Chains A and B, each alone.
Chain A
Amino acid sequence: MIRIQDVVRNYHAGETVVKALKGVSLEITDGEFLSIAGPSGSGKTTLLNLIGCIDALDGGEIVIDETPVSKMDKKAKTEFRRNNLGFVFQTYNLIPVLTAYENVSFVLSILNVPEKEIEERTMGILKEVGLQGMEHRRPDRLSGGQQQRIAIARALVKNPKIVLADEPTANLDSKTGEEILKLMQSMNEKYHTTFIFSTHDSMVMDYARRLVSLHDGQVIDDQRR
């Protein structure tokens, strides 16, 4: 369960204060497949970053499974992310010198998972995302869709509680984007991992079982389907 309470986040650009989030409150239950929608500058990425413990809020509170993550120090946040969160980025953010296998397995390496288990889990997840036989390819030899599949495998391989995806299909054509969404949906159903993804694409919103709309840093709509 993620509880977001009156969250405020301001950015300072010189003397100008940009209010990115103006008291957002939300409750997200385990296993949800939730989309945060809204136009550019509405605060989608900021909200994802705050849930993902990679940004600090200016007011309010975020509690994940009874843990007040917004009050954690830098070191505790790092550890929390390492153990509980998976990320999928719009630009995939794979390490170009590593193979598909290495890009996924390093997440387990930093968790000190034994070598044999790393191999089993990595090969397993790569098979599930449809990249079997491509383990030794580097990102530059894979399509955008395949690279995003690696990113999803990387997010899921450690069995996180929550996967946060910031515009995961924005760099993909609509057909590949749809495939990625179906993959995320199937993973959500299979592992009951909470998926929270931001988008401004109506096709992507259609896949969400819950759609939270943001506008100017405030929740203007929250629909369950």
Chain B
Amino acid sequence: MKFIITLAFKNLTRYKRRTLITAFAIAVGLMMFIIVDSVLIGVESESMRNLRWYETSSARIMHEEYWEDRLLMPLDMSIDDPYAIIDMLDKEGITAAPRINFSADMILYSDDFGEDGNMPVQVTAIDPELDNTVFRFKETLVEGTFPEPGTNQMVMGSWFAEDIGAEVGYWVTLVTRGNGGFYEAMDMEIVGIVNCPNPNVNRTLLMVPIDTVDEYLAMEGNATEINIALPEDSDIATEVEQIKNLLEERGRSLHVATWDELAQDYVALAEAKRGGTGMILFLVFIIAAVGISNTMLMAIYERIRELGMMRALGMKDRSIQLAFMVEAAGIGLIGSIVGVALGVAINFYMVNVGVDLGFLMRDMDMGYRIQSIMRGAWSPSTLVTAFFFGTFLSMLVAYIPTRRALKMDIPSCLRHQ
């Protein structure tokens, strides 16, 4: 064994440049694997957090029929007495807040906006106090104030405000149909602008007080949804089951959807992207594998005579195979150490600073719920996997050409030029 290790080590240093180039190829492959994986985990976890904090909450209670037709936002399929449910949940230690979602036509005036105009919008009516216990909009307020209950005040997403040239103090009118189908117009003053980290929300957000909307739209105290905040580390499926049981016990037949049910588009997209990224990683590894394979092929075919001599002198094929595989493992080990070190160094930057992709996210919907800074996340299992995979892969790709060379008869090996 000592001889095998000595031989493998000396052969590694025999062609330093080739060893280093191959190790470098492995290192680059592993580094890319670590970074891509880190960014993917980072982006996904931040997207999930931004979904739960600004878009879907952890879970949402809705009328069964509202859930079916939720894209139409039917006000007549709302939840009766939502505060009774909220109190019930509060007693169980669960935070919840009501909301009314409705679509409207927003009229802009030339006095404020320079020219008259109108556009379709989606408006969210919130209970300003409770909503901030479930969502985190208050922390993202960059200008003005949050709407006061009972007022005609409105907050707007900063990208939305930028797009239409809105500023705090401007007035708009929301024209919509109330519960029952009557038309209603609400004059609203923009009192605050929030810079929400969830780009989908920041592009479209309009929030108004729920009691004001209740009166305008004749909701009679109903809400279209109750949003629930659950602890980050909780098992949402189990919690949702418990909430369903509580509702059933009180004779309330309502639908409770988890955040990932509510964000099916994102979940599907994330899965597809994960598959695509997996493909990229696979290709990176193929490139690294071809590099190692090529190096080992050259190393083996240059040493066929040497191999024949060792066999003639009575060295077992298994030992010769092992010598070449130890050599390949050595290349893999160097590549893995350098790759993981480079990956960790770059990932340190990715986790703590990140890459500002605001310019890209501003005008393009990539599906991820991150607004500008794309950050990585630490994944010790990825580092360990990358390290062992690099070494293992090297040994694996060395196996085949060595095996083939060992199948040649000894005189042919000794004659090999």
- The interface of chain A, by Cβ under 8 A from chain B, is 45, 49, 52, 54-55, 78-83, 85, 87, 89, 91, 93, 95-98, 102, 106-107, 109-110, 154
Contacts and interface: CB of A to CB of B under 8 A. Distances in A.
Nearest to A98: B10
Interface stretch (B194-202, B218-226, B307-315): B307-315
Given A54-B411, A93-B414, A110 B315 contact: yes
A93 B310 CA distance: 9
A109 B2 contact: yes
Interface string B222-238: 00000000000000000
Contact of B306 (A78, A87, A95): A95
Contacts of A81: 312-314
B305 to A, nearest CB: 6
User: Which 10 residue pairs of A and B lie closest in terms of their CB atoms, listed nearest first?
Assistant: A82-B314, A97-B10, A54-B410, A93-B309, A109-B3, A81-B314, A97-B14, A106-B3, A49-B411, A110-B315
B409 interface: yes
Q: Count chain A CB atoms within 10 A of each CB in B13, B314, B317 and give the residue with the most.
A: B314
Interface string B1-31: 0110011001101100000000000000000
Q: Count chain B CB atoms within 10 A of each CB in A45, A54, A83, A97 and give the residue with the most.
A: A97
Judged by DSSP, the binding face of B is helix
B305 A93 contact: yes
A78 to B, nearest CB: 6
Contact of A55 (B306, B314, B317, B410): B410
Contacts of B305: 91, 93
Nearest to A91: B305
B252 interface: no
Interface in B291-331: 305-306, 308-317, 319
A213 to B, nearest CB: 22
Given A81-B314, A110-B313, A110-B315, A97 B414 contact: no
Interface residues of B, number: 25
B410 A95 contact: no
B316 A78 contact: yes
12 contacts: A54-B409, A54-B414, A82-B313, A82-B314, A89-B414, A93-B308, A95-B7, A95-B309, A96-B14, A102-B6, A109-B3, A154-B313
Contacts of B312: 52, 54, 81, 87
Contacts of A79: 314
A78 B306 CA distance: 16
Contacts of B7: 95, 97-98, 106
A187 to B, nearest CB: 17
B314 A83 contact: yes
A120 B305 CA distance: 29
A97 B19 CA distance: 15
A160 to B, nearest CB: 10
Given A81-B312, A83-B314, A85-B314, 5 more contacts: A95-B306, A102-B6, A109-B2, A110-B3, A110-B314
Contacts of A54: 311-312, 409-411, 414
Q: Count chain A CB atoms within 10 A of each CB in B306, B310, B313, B316 and give the residue with the most.
A: B313
Q: Count chain B CB atoms within 10 A of each CB in A52, A78, A91 and give the residue with the most.
A: A78
Contacts of B315: 78, 82, 110
A107 B411 contact: no
Contacts of A49: 410-411
